[in-house]
């Protein structure tokens, strides 16, 4: 986003917020210290009460009761200040983020090179440079230098269309190499080193197409999860090139997968809360299938934990929520709907309707909105469709979309994938959020 005035306003607002927070934290620190001093005095008086007699003892008791009441007041005040700080900072960020993107966002760049639908894109930062990779039905995978707006590599290793592309965190963290991984209709998954322009590894153990792929958020991306046309989900060890687990239960091909983020959980008395936290440390897999269902699997035991029914056509995209939305799953389907599900209850929370053609991709956005009806801020989810729109929805409301990005009818002719990328611009202290999307006709656009 290039609105320098709004970025300056954001920086000024953030500085003021920080100063206010620092002042409030100092007050809390002083109060906490006074609380400790009062506790020491009370303990001393209680000890002396044991040896005092008569009216002196009764008087001391009255004083202790008075001080204890004052101490309770201080504790309550501290809690109120902390809650105020949280609310103040949340509201400040909420208003800016929403207003900035919706009011000033526009088409910034386009990448042209693919001759057919771009099925998948991914973004990464490597050696302080920002890269985009894309996979298409033209059987190619391309890598783009975002800042310089140019293609830097093209791979033609697949014999059929590419369904999903990802930058490999395993090679990044363990070998400092920029490697992309991509799945295809030719039944393979390939790893390609960008700089050397050579294939490093190939997985070819499936009997039919391989759809969505996802690297584990644990063990530095060592494990790769993917769905296949043979109705299964597989977990593969990238380091040893061995298959670890196979998850069976879907009645049709598995198009999309996602691995839950790591979250702590203190509610040990509720077993349903342990979904998403594998073996106390780990994870679950979520899968969307052509059998119209969404399923959750325990990675350690390979057991199916839950099934979500509701979509009436193929499920094309699934995503786990994080932070305050950690117990939710977002899905998009060829039935044109976008659904939000509660993992704990197994029920649908919201259904967002507005698209007029199949929904191909959904994401939890980095934005929030001030929801006056709900009495606070709300997170925003997004969906991209063949109707050539990307729509933004309030998770607390199933009303009409809040904001819509419309693709170009001639250039795009439908949205097939998108990603958000937050990064710091050169020679600037503030961060920017850009939206990258791939279209049905092969063009990739940057919106911000």
List, edge to edge, every strand of the sheet that includes 198-203: 162-167, 179-184, 189-193, 198-203
Number of domains in the chain: 2
- 124 alpha-carbon distance from chain centroid: 15
Same domain, 320 and 236: yes
User: Whole domain around residue 342: which residue ranges?
Assistant: 107-447
Is 162 in a helix, a strand, or coil? Answer: strand
Whether the Cβ atoms of residue 406 and residue 397 lie closer than 8 Å to each other: no
What is the full per-residue pLDDT of the chain (448 aa) written as tens digits?
433 334 433 434 444 444 544 554 454 455 445 555 555 555 555 444 443 444 444 555 555 565 566 666 665 565 445 434 433 433 333 334 666 788 888 999 999 999 999 999 999 988 889 999 999 999 999 999 999 999 999 998 677 899 999 999 999 999 999 999 999 999 999 999 999 999 999 999 999 999 999 999 888 999 999 999 999 999 999 999 999 999 999 999 999 999 998 754 444 433 333 443 333 345 899 999 999 999 999 998 899 999 999 999 999 999 999 888 989 999 999 999 999 999 999 999 999 999 999 999 999 999 988 877 767 788 999 999 999 999 999 998 888 899 999 999 999 999 999 999 887 766 666 778 899 999 999 999 999 8
CB under 8 Å to 181, separation ≥6 — which residues? 165, 166, 167, 168, 189, 190, 191, 192, 213, 215, 224
What are the residues facing 214 on neighbouring strands? 225
The reply to whether 57 and 176 lie within a common domain is no
CATH of the domain at 244: 2.130.10.10
The last residue of one of the domains, among 104, 125, 150, is 104
Domain match, 18 and 161 both: no
Residues 139 and 93 in one domain: no
Mark which of 81, 104, 127 sits at the end of a domain. 104
Residue found by looking up tokens 């990005």 in the block: 405
Q: Which of 426, 428, 445, 429 is nearest to 437 (CA)?
A: 445
Residues 234 and 352 in one domain: yes
Taking the C-alpha atoms of residue 439 and residue 413, their distance in angstroms, rounded to an integer, is 7
One domain for residues 158 and 187? yes
Q: Which of 47, 74, 104 is the last residue of a domain?
A: 104
Residues 114 and 97 in one domain: no
The pTM is what? Answer: 0.75
Transcribe 86-150 into DSSP letters. HHHHHHHHHHHHHHHHHHH--EEEEE---SS-EEEEEEEEETTEEEEEEEETTS-EEEEETTTTE
CA distance 10 to 12: 5
> Is residue 88 located within the same domain as residue 136?
no
Is residue 41 located within the same domain as residue 182? no
- Here the tokens at position 154 are 């093209």
Q: Where are the alpha helices (DSSP H) in 156-312?
A: 169-175
- pLDDT of the residue at 218: 87
> Tell me, what's the pLDDT at 68?
61
Quick one: 382 and 355 in the same domain? yes
Residue 131 and residue 66 share a domain: no
Of the CA atoms within 13 Å of residue 321, those in its CB half-sphere come to 21
Distance CA 165, CA 193 (A): 13
Q: Are residues 233 and 272 in the same domain?
A: yes
Tell me whether strands 293-298 and 254-259 are parallel, antiparallel or unpaired. unpaired
> What does DSSP say about strands 141-145 and 129-136: parallel, antiparallel, or unpaired?
antiparallel
């Amino acid at each position: 986003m290039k609105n320098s005035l709004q970025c300056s306003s954001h920086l000024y607002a953030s500085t003021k917020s920080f100063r206010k927070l620092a002042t409030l934290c100092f007050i809390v620190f002083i109060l906490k210290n006074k609380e400790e001093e009062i506790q020491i005095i009370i303990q001393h008086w209680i000890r002396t009460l044991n040896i005092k007699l008569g009216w002196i003892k009764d008087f001391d008791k009255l004083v202790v009761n008075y001080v204890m009441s004052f101490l309770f007041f201080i504790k309550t005040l501290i809690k109120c200040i902390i809650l105020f700080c949280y609310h103040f900072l949340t509201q400040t960020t909420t208003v800016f983020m929403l207003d900035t993107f919706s009011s000033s966002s526009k088409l910034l760049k386009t990448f042209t090179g693919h001759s057919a639908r771009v099925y998948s894109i991914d973004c990464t930062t490597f050696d302080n440079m920002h890269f985009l990779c894309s996979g298409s039905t033209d059987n190619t995978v391309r890598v783009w230098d975002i800042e310089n707006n140019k293609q830097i590599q093209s791979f033609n290793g697949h014999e059929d269309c590419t369904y999903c592309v990802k930058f490999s965190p395993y090679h990044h963290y363990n070998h400092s190499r920029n490697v992309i991984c991509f799945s295809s209709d030719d039944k393979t998954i390939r790893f390609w080193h960008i700089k050397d322009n050579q294939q490093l590894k190939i997985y070819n153990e499936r009997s039919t197409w391989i759809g969505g792929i996802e690297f584990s958020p644990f063990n530095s991306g060592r494990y790769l999860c993917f769905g296949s046309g043979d109705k299964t989900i597989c977990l593969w060890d990238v380091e040893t090139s061995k298959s670890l687990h196979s998850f069976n239960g879907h009645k049709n091909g598995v198009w999309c997968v996602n691995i839950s983020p790591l979250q702590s959980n203190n509610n040990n008395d509720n077993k349903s809360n342990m979904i998403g936290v594998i073996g106390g440390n780990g994870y679950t897999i979520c899968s969307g299938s052509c059998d119209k269902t969404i399923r959750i699997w325990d990675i350690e035991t390979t057991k199916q934990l839950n099934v979500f029914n509701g979509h009436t056509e193929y499920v094309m995209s699934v995503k786990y929520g994080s932070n305050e939305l950690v117990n939710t799953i977002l899905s998009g389907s060829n039935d044109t709907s976008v659904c939000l599900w509660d993992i704990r209850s197994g029920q649908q929370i919201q259904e967002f309707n507005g698209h007029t053609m199949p929904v191909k991709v959904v994401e939890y956005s980095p934005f929030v909105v001030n929801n006056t009806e709900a009495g606070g801020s709300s997170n925003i989810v997004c969906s991209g469709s063949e109707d050539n729109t990307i729509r933004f929805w309030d998770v607390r409301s199933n009303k009409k979309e809040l904001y819509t990005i419309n693709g170009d009818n001639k250039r795009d002719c439908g949205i097939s994938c998108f990603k958000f990328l937050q990064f710091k611009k050169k020679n600037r202290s503030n961060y920017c959020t850009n939206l990258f999307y791939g279209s049905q006709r092969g063009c990739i656009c940057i919106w911000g």
